[in-house]
Chain A
Amino acid sequence: MRRQLRWYGASPLHLLSLLACFGLAGYAADRLVPSHPLGVAAWFLGAVIGHDLLLMPLYSLADRSAMAAIRHRDPQLPVTPWINYVRVPAALSGLLLLVWFPLILRLRSPYHASTTLSADPYVWHWLAVTGALFLLSAVAFAVRLRGKPPAASPPERPATAPAGAVPEAETDPGHPGDADSGRGQPPAVPEEPELEDRELEEREPGHRAGELPPAEADPRQDPPSGYSPGPPQPAAEDPDAPGPVLPQPAGPKHDARPADPTTPDTQ
């Protein structure tokens, strides 16, 4: 069944499935398109382009800008604990706007004429929900900061993480194609200044214990930077490879790590 057709590049079943798909889709499209062929095609392609080439780059850029801004304001602040408390409420608020913008922005429509309802409250509802989301997020962050044990005790994961859970899937020693091979061995000075503090933290975990809440000083909670999709940096300049003190090795840096992944951190 999996025998390949030489001229085609996949199995006959693959070809038949796709032809059946196009047959059915073509049958439906034949009925869909005639009324407004250009409009329908534009909306179909627009759905792809609008998401993949517009919405997605925009929210990725916003995400990266937020992380860069946080780092820029206070390089000592680790991004990871922070960013999700900004990222989640902002994204959820954006989601609501994305879906309900015709009502929220009171765009011209027969809505009032047909329902007798006013579209006026929606913008306020949206703002109120947005405010509540950020408030909840701030409260959750505050609770998390307060709930941290004193610096002397071993770092603890949030309640959702079962203590001692060791991800067996992650102990895979070989990442054959890992382009970052060997770069976990730190150059003395990182290439990107904005990352300097983070790199130092990773190499000297106790480094700022007196200045930061222990959670933030915990390198396991403080992976360096970056979030997909990154800037077009060549892999070879990537300073983001996990540092050697991370308890879970990533690829070839393995040998530089403690052999036992459950070994407690130097903290």
Chain B
Amino acid sequence: MKHDERPPAVRRPPFAQRASQGLRRLPRPDELPGPFRRSFWRSPIRGPWLTSILGLILLAGLSVVFVTGLLSYAAYNPDLNRINDQTPGKGLLGFYLFSWPTHPVWLYRLNQGVHVTLGLVLIPILLAKLWSVLPKLFEWPPLRSPAHALERLSLLLLVGGVGFEFVTGILNIQQWYKFPGSFYVLHFYGAWVFVAALVVHTGLKSRTVIGTLRARGLMAMLRVDTAHTEPEPPDGSDLVSPAPAGPTISRRGALAFAGAGSLLMLAVTVGQSLGGPLRRTALLAPHGQDLGAGPNDFQINQTAAQVGIRAEETGPGWRLTLDRAGPGGPAPVRLSRAQLLAMEQHTAHLPIACVEGWSTGNQAWTGVRLRDLARLAGISQPASVLVDSLEKGGAFRHGVLSAGQIMDPDSLLALRVNGADLSLDHGYPARVIVPANPGVHNTKWVATLTFAS
């Protein structure tokens, strides 16, 4: 790194001169205890090459995780209605939002599966990368110039940001909600803090990475076995140990080590997103267990008991209310479940996909098309519909669907699934199912549909 080099003594900037006069009173690095002494760090494989390779893998992987994360936010259609927006203060950070499509029907399933699974798979690479640069944390002198100070501050955002994003994501998919506040708020804004630091870090390090790979090559270094593994020549980066121990693992061995961690993480996780017989291979993923073989035995993420749905609310007395937004117009239409079943029924084969990354294969949902219900409410060209559930609380007791989502022929108010009535935990008496929609917006236990024109 050019900017990491200490300026030549003959023309040092005034700051550096003053700083070095001040620093003369500080101990020199070799007088310091422990990790501040360069010779404390002894791995012969630490150096710009290994860090560059790990950095490039992370850059590619985290870019995908970031983009799928942004798409995941767009999938909630937050601009359609404030109800849909978990981060209404987003301001400029929502610059990219667009109306979420309904096709391909597996779009959200793929997006979330990639976001969560790839994030998990990158953990070993991230840990290896952090290990490879740890001596940098103990640089001495800790601040050499304003440039150095600012860059170290950006590294705090980078490392803190990546840790914050990974920890909140990992805990959220296990529903261990110990983080300080709404997951959506923390994970969305935290991602922008991290990405701001990642972009500048990528820019500042690009010369080092390109220069290192040009100088040492990729395959040439990968061919070196443990016995022949030697430190890289010192480059002033603080990464190469001045007192290397003998190698216990080669660089390719270290990369294979991290790669094995990634493969293992993939193996114990990806089944929860693939579904079918592979679900049981997800030995440690939250939705890696089969529920059975019955028509309603697919994954659930919110039970009726959990949200306080009482039996009498879903019994014969249940009515669906079809309303239209705004004053005036005809009185609301109220329909019993029998009346809904008497209407024209359609079957759509659609997955359930959760923001947490798990999903099911396609289920055969049967019910009334949302656009037919809009017409029944007196609106043939709906702009949106507010779906209200019997749920008493929670951010997703209601949601708003877009015109495109209402008009899709596969968008249903489902009454049955896989040939049977919906089970209570899957939303009996009726639930919304819309292609490519996030699971929480496929509202269960629907009470009211309010269409707007």
Partners in one complex: yes
**A247 located at the interface, meaning its Cβ lies under 8 Å from any Cβ of chain B in the complex:** yes
**B364 located at the interface, meaning its Cβ lies under 8 Å from any Cβ of chain A in the complex:** no
Residues of B near any A CB (own CB < 8 A): 2-3, 7, 13-16, 33-35, 37, 39-44, 46, 87, 89-93, 120, 123-124, 127, 130-131, 134, 137, 144-148, 150-151, 153-154, 156-157, 159-164, 166-168, 170-171, 174-177, 179-182, 185-186, 189-190, 192-193, 195-197, 199-200, 203-204, 216-217, 220-221, 223-231, 233-234, 241-249, 252-253, 257, 260-261, 264-265, 268, 283-284, 286-287, 289, 291, 299-303, 305-306, 425
- Determine, out of A99-107, A145-153, A186-194, A203-211, the stretch whose residues face the partner at the interface: A99-107
Which of A122, A218, A224 is in CB contact (< 8 Å) with B284?
Answer: A122
Q: Evaluate whether A32 and B120 lie within 8 angstroms (CB atoms) in the complex, with A117-B289, A225-B245 already known.
A: no
A220 adjacent to B3 (CB under 8 Å):
no
**A18 located at the interface, meaning its Cβ lies under 8 Å from any Cβ of chain B in the complex:** yes
- Residue of B15, B40, B252, B284 with most chain A CB atoms under a 10 A cut-off: B284
Residues of A near any B CB (own CB < 8 A): 2, 4-11, 14-15, 17-18, 20-25, 27-29, 31-32, 35-36, 38-40, 42-48, 50-52, 56, 67, 79-80, 83-84, 87-88, 91-92, 95-96, 99-100, 102-104, 107, 109-111, 113-118, 121-122, 125-126, 128-129, 133, 157-158, 160-162, 165-170, 172, 174-180, 218-230, 232-235, 238, 240, 242, 246-248, 250
A116 adjacent to B217 (CB under 8 Å):
no
> 7 extra interchain contacts, Cβ-Cβ under 8 A, other than A48-B156, A51-B163?
A8-B15, A9-B3, A10-B151, A15-B150, A27-B92, A99-B120, A229-B42
Show 27 residue pairs from A and B whose CB-CB distance is below 8 angstroms, ordered by the A residue: A8-B147, A17-B200, A25-B193, A27-B92, A27-B93, A38-B180, A42-B180, A48-B160, A51-B127, A52-B130, A56-B130, A99-B170, A99-B265, A102-B171, A113-B305, A114-B302, A114-B303, A158-B225, A165-B224, A167-B223, A179-B242, A218-B227, A223-B248, A228-B41, A228-B43, A230-B245, A247-B227
Q: Evaluate whether A28 and B185 lie within 8 angstroms (CB atoms) in the complex, with A7-B14, A109-B177 already known.
A: no
Q: Evaluate whether A43 and B180 lie within 8 angstroms (CB atoms) in the complex, with A29-B193, A52-B130, A167-B223 already known.
A: yes
A28 adjacent to B301 (CB under 8 Å):
no
Which of A47, A48, A114 is in CB contact (< 8 Å) with B300?
Answer: A114
CB distance from A223 to the nearest CB of B (A): 3
A167 adjacent to B228 (CB under 8 Å):
yes
Residues of B within 8 A of A121 (CB): 289
